[in-house]
Structure 1
Amino acid sequence: MNDRYDFKAIERKWQQRWLAEEPDRVPDVPTGRKYYVLEMFPYPSGRIHMGHVRNYTIGDVIARYKRMRGFQVMHPMGWDAFGLPAENAAMKHGTHPAAWTQDNIAYMRGQLRAIGLSYDWRRELATCEPDYYRWEQQLFLKMLKEGLVYRRETTLNWCESCQTVLAREQVEEGACWRCGQPVMPRKMPGWFFNITRYAGELLADLDRLSGWPERVVAMQRNWIGRSTGLSCDFQVAGSEDRISIFTTRPDTIFGVTFMSLAVEHPLLKTLSQGLPQHEAVQAFIQETMIAKQRATPDQEPEKRGVFTGRYCINPFSGEQVPIYAANFVLMEYGTGAVMAVPAHDQRDFDFARAYGLPIRIVIQAEGEPLSPETMTAASTVAGRLVNSGAFSGLDSEEAKQAIIRHAEQQGFGRPMVTYRLRDWGVSRQRYWGAPIPVVHCPHCGIVPVPEEQLPVVLPDSYQPLHQQESFLATACPVCGGPARRESDTLDTFVESSWYYMRYLCPDYRGGLVNKEAAAGWLPVDQYIGGVEHAILHLLYSRFFAKMLRDLGYVGIDEPFTNLLTQGMVLKNGAKMSKSRGNVEDPSILIEQYGADTVRLFSMFAAPPERDLDWNPQGVEGAARFLAKIHHLIALNTDCLANTAELAPEGLDPASRKVYRKTHQTIHRVTESIESNFHFNTAIAGVMELVNAIGVPEEAGKLDSAVLRQALETVLTLLFPMAPHICEELWEASGHRTRLADCAWPDYSAEAAREDEITIVIQVNGKLRGKVLVAEGTDNEAVQAMALADEKIVQFLAGKRPKKIVVVPGKLVNIVC
């Protein structure tokens, strides 16, 4: 065996063998204990970065480990291939999005294979392929039939010059990224998934996700946002119109001094019609809509509004209050109307002060009475009701229920549970996405494309679909007359909400998923990805699982049993990114150090859930460690060929120590992986075992059977992290079975037991010495040995201890 660690030759050899032999293929229906491990699939941007390497290596280590534990492991890979970046890049480079995407996929596939990832490549998929999105289109039609998808008007970014709708990221400082002309809001029809039908279940089932990080569960819980309160109507004075409101604070309803409407509220179209304020109201609406379209999500606008000239009637007090259009009210939350109680809500307080509106106190807490004239901020604490008619004197919580009951009895209100979650807008007005399979007929309305005509395939030209007459013009499937195809495409989150199911049966032609395969493999046992996907992607995937369950496709309630959100890769304290110019190219690192070194470093540098600080010395250290293992085994190949039985009873002290360390390491590494995937401590354990074996030139002095067991253990435990070198050294040592097919080693508790243990000796809480004692030595004997230790005798210098505390098996503390 050559002593030189030629990582390029080793990795090339094993990657070619894995490609030819496909050792990681699994059947569509598992025939044994199953384990489904999945990393969030990448967008084919053209290059794998170190964040990808870390994510996919974590999944690969888990997959290889679970195979050695006897599981059939589903471990697939694919490409989240639709989306706006491909369109932008195609336009920039003068190519077609499909060609740009496929070229990137080919390059990135090569990069993934160079990392040595154990995927079942037979299951590879790309969401931009018609064979994938045809089943999504079929599902869309079924959802349409079941009332799970609908169409309504929504506000979008419109570029008049380009005659197209723009995504938020295409709007730069209020202008179109392409032509530089101002972007204006425009109301257009769009398609929505009825995710709110599942809001209650999505929220309740978060309690079942014990294998998810608490912060991710909390983020989803807050996003869904369950609220309980009162729903009631304020009638517009002198009109049949009513303004519906929902409030979680019905105890403050007597403190309403004005009504605030979102600028998108439908009543604002006509509310001020014929009044002097109408022109100002419409101008304010337009101005606010433009500002909203151009604002970044984290911008908090100055609270502004305009009086509509109309009033509405508080159903509890009968009082008329003015109606304002306000820029801080969001149409997408609640009803788009807010009963304003400035004394007890800070936004309302700020608005009331700015526009000289009344402030009426209706909740009085303990302490100095509140006064509208002297208040500098709203009071949001609970207390007793004042100025609230028959409800005055009640405490806040009691009053809430009493006021809701009164509204229900009088027929103008009712208790209600609402959610912050809103239905999912899935329409995208661009080219590179899955076409929505309906046509618009002037006689028949919206007509589904017949299933036998699926998939509706994207045309070759990559202009926005609403600009492609040859695509739009079609015949109505019902009446046969002229009709128009839907020009919207689906949000790319749709494709990523069910891809984990299609991996199970990528060639299945009977529907979206093979039910037998789904019953065998689902749910995913371990999902791995960045926390940036903690809300939308995971929420939509959960929605799809529940919806597809109800539609009869699958039998699961939740898609992912366990979730690991890996930390970012940082360099000089900042996230690696092209824009910062601090990216480390994994292809260059693999060329310089080898895939096993890059894998080992990315697993050793930090626990998977923590951020990883890039350290070139760490990469070099990982390379040196692998070279050391290669040298150690190259010099002791004969020992590995020795089949003598291991006899623990007659071992010399050095061999006994390595024998014990081997079993301790098996236990430590197994626990580190099983408990929390802390591969860093697992690798540290292997390093300690290698150090215990000693320098390669001296290792041969150990008992040959002990050394063989120790070296085989090193290769076996390290294999999931560094598979190429471990397979190579295993084979070179004379083993005929692939290491990947070997079982994970078991440890012996008896063999791992220490014959002697180290007891720490403290004087007044400070370390002053150590002593070796036989395991099981009683406390009195341990105390006597501590007091007799030469260092302790010198330190005490004749002083008599006031107290001696013995912690069995750990320490002795002498108090003077």
Structure 2
Amino acid sequence: MYDFRAIEKKWQEYYAKEKPFNIDLEKAERPFYNLMMFPYPSAAGLHIGNMFSFIGSDVYGRFMKLKGYDVFEPIGFDAFGIHSENYALKVGKHPAELTPKSIEYFREEQLKKIGNIFDWNSEAITSSPEYYKWTQWIFIQLFKNGLAEKRSSNVNWCPSCKTVLADEQVIDGRCERCNSEVEKREMSQWFFKITEYAEKLLSNLEKLDWTDTTKNLQRAWIGKSSGATISFEVSGMNEKIDVFTTRPDTIFGVTYIVVAPEYGLVSKLITPSTLQAFENFKEEVKNMDLATRTSISRPKNGIFTGSYAVHPLTGEELPIWIGDYVLAEYGTGAVMAVPAHDERDYVFAKKYGLEIKQVIECDPSQLPYTEKGKMINSGKYSDMLSADFIERIDEVSESIKGSVNYHLHDWCISRQRYWGPPIPIVYCDKCGTIPVPEDQLPVTLPNTDDYIPDGSGKSPLAKNEEFVNTICPVCGGPARRETDVSDNFLDSAWYYLRYLSPNDNSAPFDDGLVEKWCPVDMYIGGNEHATLHLMYSRFLSMALHDMGFLPFEEPFTSFRGHGLIIKDGEKMSKSKGNIVNPNEYFESHGVDTLRTYLMFMGTFLEGGDFRDSGMDAMRRFLNRVWDIATMPEGRSSTELKIKMSETVEKVDYSVKNIKPNTAIAAIMEFVNEASKEVSIERQLVIDMAKLLSPFAPFVCEEIYSMKGGKKKTILDDGFPYGYEKYASMAKTELPVQITGKMRGKVVLPQNASQEEAMEAVMADEKLSKMLEGKSIRKIIYVQDKIINIII
């Protein structure tokens, strides 16, 4: 048993003093940018879920460094925003006082101890004026290019956090941070026009090497729908109601129109006789969350406006209703109701006795029938197929135009809080809305004790007259500063660029270094940020590219979203008392044990179950590794060298494919075989340590040093090689049958698993084509003998 405390302390001090992982960004010959999501310094410390993410990313970075790359692995702190501010309020401290202390603890007591190859020279902290000066600069560039605007809108308001939330921060009608029910408020807010990039954000996903789950989440949020925009004239007034529909083939089945209570024309549509009923109805809807309003299963409520619209093809008058299930911010805020072919419209029509007209052929007992088919009761278009009608939609009428709609909405970045970068805008009665001149940045966040939000809808900065009152940069007259601060997702949307030149006071990022190191080669982080952070980062990168500031559109070439950790079979929570503090395990089991166990306890991309018994077992495994390293030096068996050749290959494949658990399993197999030997060759010990070093860096550094390693770190000595002749001894040709017929052979390591065999089959161009589009009913696998795939 080795003294893990002494060894880990020794190498932690070595890393801190020698800084072996700091990169000369300009001179690096094989650049590889390895990025992980930086933490919010908003709690008593980093929890085990954070460590799971950081260590998983570092394993990949260490592996690439072993492969000979100049790996840049920076870290910093997402220190502005509601998370840090609310934590400060909770413990009764000023965020400007508490945040630096939290950062110090995160950095010195946790991040510097876990063995990651961080380049601390590149640390970036979003709450420092040196950083947010450039966050404000980015805002100004978007403003100058028409991508930032202030407008009145129905926004999400969290009564607990006392601020506006972006759509993406609302989950099932609740604040994603505090779980409070979100209200709707009409407020004037700053928006970034991310919707102008909706199609590019969607289409670019095809060329990205990202986790499929992550890409699908992005696709769902962008929410592209193809269909038609149809204009309905309002009877008796010079107004029209536009609706977007994915089913223009049901146009002849429209029997009424429904608009949202917040729809812009409502005040004109409501007749005097229905005004009081509308006011009562609007008050009821105001207290409903979005999830309730849009639920398919909930009863739909509405009132008749007293006004009518004209059907563009038949000339019929259609009653205009107001419905609680229609939202102003989705689509156009109005829908054409086709109750025979839409579930919600059907329920609504049944409730209020409205006409139901079937226009797609089906058994009337099947209504509402929502599939496409042959059109009926549709004038000259009867007997036409839905698909044919939709294809020719632009020929039908000038009032009907083929169009595309997106679920994605513009990014609301205004926050009515204190702890954030002030939005760099001034308002002048004479000159209007003016950006702060770039040479006057940063607009510094004032240090004030009056920083607690009061729920009025105004930022605490609005009460600070010294901050608010300023001089117009155009005319020199009196002006007022914008008092909202920006969303902290803006801070984090560009941090990967600032890491390359964190101390540059003349520019947000160094153009030459950005061209050399970006886009980021590998980004690993939680899928909980797959919609918010990644979408915003992509938008900002595209916008800066179009402005000529960046040579690329997409910021992250590869992204891997990992799963979540549970504890003893249950989700971790404070109420259950099962939150895992990693620091406790630093002392009881060691950092190497914690790192290796976190990577072994489950599939990294899916998560795993943290159990103390697993930590104990991993501690015993590392003791066995030490026993192998301290065996007498001498000749090793050919079988052990064959085993090492297999292990090198499996670790190489597994880490590249973000399967650290199978890499560790392969090393465990080698250790089992090595323990049977009476002596072991020095190089085999060093190579064992190299393969294990991404997971357990400190004990492996000690083994490498003990065995006479000459490089600064074990990672500088390179990935193990020289086992080619032994690899050929460990291979077997596996015959492949498809439904009993011999179709080919694949080459596999001996004792390969069924999963490995199938991976080899699918990697074979000829065999994979035979299985393409087929459903596999059964697999019969006899190890090292044959595989039969039944389709």
TM category (shorter chain) comes to 0.7 to 0.9
Instruction: Report SS of the residue matched to 1:699.
Output: coil
Opposite residue 745 of structure 1, the aligned amino acid is P
2:128, 2:13 → 1: CA distance?
Answer: 27
Residues 246 and 21 of structure 1, relative CA distance in 2, 3 Å threshold: same
Matches within 5 A, 1:279-290: 279-290=276-287
Comparing 576-585 with 285-294, which one deviates more in the overlay?
285-294
- Residues 447-501 of structure 1: CA deviation (Å, up to 9, x unaligned): 1111111111111122422232222122222222222111111111111111111
- 1:691 is aligned, of 665, 669, 672, to 672
Contact 1:30 1:72 in 2 (8 A): no
1:729, 1:338 → 2: CA distance?
Answer: 70
Q: Which residue in the other structure is 1:769 paired with?
A: none
Contact 2:183 2:289 in 1 (8 A): no
Opposite residue 612 of structure 2, the aligned amino acid is P
2:356, 2:293 → 1: CA distance?
Answer: 32
Matches within 5 A, 1:419-498: 419-461=406-448, 462-463=451-452, 464-498=460-494
Find out whether 1:227 has 2:217 as its counterpart: no
Residues 159 and 656 of structure 1, relative CA distance in 2, 3 Å threshold: closer
Instruction: Report SS of the residue matched to 1:736.
Output: coil
Residues 299 and 806 of structure 1, relative CA distance in 2, 3 Å threshold: closer
1:604, 1:87 → 2: CA distance?
Answer: 35
Displacement of 1:157: 6.2
Opposite residue 114 of structure 2, the aligned amino acid is I
Contact 2:36 2:524 in 1 (8 A): yes
2:730, 2:498 → 1: CA distance?
Answer: 54
2:647, 2:501 → 1: CA distance?
Answer: 40
Instruction: Report SS of the residue matched to 1:115.
Output: coil
1:34, 1:248 → 2: CA distance?
Answer: 47
Instruction: Report SS of the residue matched to 1:234.
Output: strand
Q: Which runs of 5+ in 1 are unaligned?
A: 643-650, 701-705, 766-774, 776-804
- 1:67 is aligned, of 52, 56, 65, to 65
Residues 174 and 127 of structure 1, relative CA distance in 2, 3 Å threshold: closer
Instruction: Report SS of the residue matched to 2:202.
Output: helix
1:445, 1:560 → 2: CA distance?
Answer: 38
- Residues 190-249 of structure 1: CA deviation (Å, up to 9, x unaligned): 11111111111111111112x212222122112212222222321111001111112221
Opposite residue 451 of structure 1, the aligned amino acid is E
1:734, 1:134 → 2: CA distance?
Answer: 49
Q: Which residue in the other structure is 1:790 paired with?
A: none
Find out whether 1:310 has 2:307 as its counterpart: yes
1:194, 1:173 → 2: CA distance?
Answer: 23
Instruction: Report SS of the residue matched to 2:90.
Output: helix
Displacement of 1:301: 4.8
- Residues 143-189 of structure 1: CA deviation (Å, up to 9, x unaligned): 111111111112246799x99646599999999x99x9x99743111
Q: Which residue in the other structure is 1:742 paired with?
A: 717
1:195, 1:453 → 2: CA distance?
Answer: 27
Displacement of 1:23: 0.7
Instruction: Report SS of the residue matched to 2:423.
Output: coil
Q: Which runs of 5+ in 2 are unaligned?
A: 453-459, 741-749, 751-779
2:3, 2:284 → 1: CA distance?
Answer: 67
Matches within 5 A, 1:67-86: 67-86=65-84
Q: Which residue in the other structure is 2:765 paired with?
A: none
Residues 690 and 584 of structure 1, relative CA distance in 2, 3 Å threshold: same
Contact 1:157 1:293 in 2 (8 A): no
Contact 2:230 2:244 in 1 (8 A): yes
Opposite residue 685 of structure 1, the aligned amino acid is A
Matches within 5 A, 1:170-569: 185-209=184-208, 211-272=209-270, 275-292=272-289, 301-365=298-362, 368=363, 370=364, 377-407=367-397, 411-461=398-448, 462-463=451-452, 464-569=460-565
Aligned residues: 730
1:296, 1:349 → 2: CA distance?
Answer: 16
Contact 2:690 2:719 in 1 (8 A): yes
Contact 1:251 1:400 in 2 (8 A): yes
1:748, 1:627 → 2: CA distance?
Answer: 26
Residues 22 and 631 of structure 1, relative CA distance in 2, 3 Å threshold: same
Q: Which residue in the other structure is 1:791 paired with?
A: none
- Residues 261-292 of structure 1: CA deviation (Å, up to 9, x unaligned): 1122111133215x110121133223212323
Residues 758 and 352 of structure 1, relative CA distance in 2, 3 Å threshold: closer
Q: Which residue in the other structure is 1:670 paired with?
A: 652
Q: Which residue in the other structure is 1:107 paired with?
A: 105
Q: Which residue in the other structure is 2:758 paired with?
A: none
Displacement of 1:600: 0.9
Residues 756 and 420 of structure 1, relative CA distance in 2, 3 Å threshold: closer
Displacement of 1:341: 0.7
Comparing 33-42 with 83-92, which one deviates more in the overlay?
83-92
Instruction: Report SS of the residue matched to 1:500.
Output: helix
Contact 1:30 1:520 in 2 (8 A): no
Displacement of 1:509: 2.3
Contact 1:693 1:707 in 2 (8 A): no
Instruction: Report SS of the residue matched to 2:289.
Output: helix
TM-score normalized with structure 1 length: 0.84
Contact 1:156 1:165 in 2 (8 A): no
- Residues 642-692 of structure 1: CA deviation (Å, up to 9, x unaligned): 8xxxxxxxx7xx722222222222222222223x12222222222222222
Displacement of 1:610: 2.2
1:171, 1:681 → 2: CA distance?
Answer: 35
1:254, 1:489 → 2: CA distance?
Answer: 49
- 1:729 is aligned, of 698, 703, 710, to 703
2:436, 2:369 → 1: CA distance?
Answer: 57
Residues 70 and 298 of structure 1, relative CA distance in 2, 3 Å threshold: farther
Find out whether 1:600 has 2:582 as its counterpart: no
Contact 1:28 1:505 in 2 (8 A): no
Contact 2:173 2:289 in 1 (8 A): no
Q: Which residue in the other structure is 2:40 paired with?
A: 43
1:552, 1:26 → 2: CA distance?
Answer: 27
Question: Which has more radius of gyration?
Answer: 1
Q: Which residue in the other structure is 1:588 paired with?
A: 584
2:652, 2:274 → 1: CA distance?
Answer: 74
Q: Which residue in the other structure is 1:771 paired with?
A: none
Find out whether 1:712 has 2:686 as its counterpart: yes
Find out whether 1:132 has 2:131 as its counterpart: yes
- Residues 316-374 of structure 1: CA deviation (Å, up to 9, x unaligned): 11111111111111222211110111111111111111111111111113xx4x2xxx5
- 1:91 is aligned, of 82, 89, 92, to 89
Residues 757 and 289 of structure 1, relative CA distance in 2, 3 Å threshold: closer
Opposite residue 121 of structure 2, the aligned amino acid is R
Opposite residue 709 of structure 1, the aligned amino acid is Q
2:583, 2:442 → 1: CA distance?
Answer: 37
Instruction: Report SS of the residue matched to 2:682.
Output: helix
Opposite residue 670 of structure 2, the aligned amino acid is L
Displacement of 1:437: 0.5
Instruction: Report SS of the residue matched to 2:244.
Output: strand
1:755, 1:404 → 2: CA distance?
Answer: 65
1:187, 1:811 → 2: CA distance?
Answer: 68
Instruction: Report SS of the residue matched to 1:143.
Output: helix
2:787, 2:416 → 1: CA distance?
Answer: 73
TM-score normalized with structure 2 length: 0.87
Contact 1:124 1:503 in 2 (8 A): yes
Contact 2:231 2:242 in 1 (8 A): yes
Contact 1:664 1:747 in 2 (8 A): no
Matches within 5 A, 1:8-23: 8-23=5-20
Displacement of 1:607: 2.4
Instruction: Report SS of the residue matched to 2:628.
Output: helix
Instruction: Report SS of the residue matched to 1:740.
Output: helix
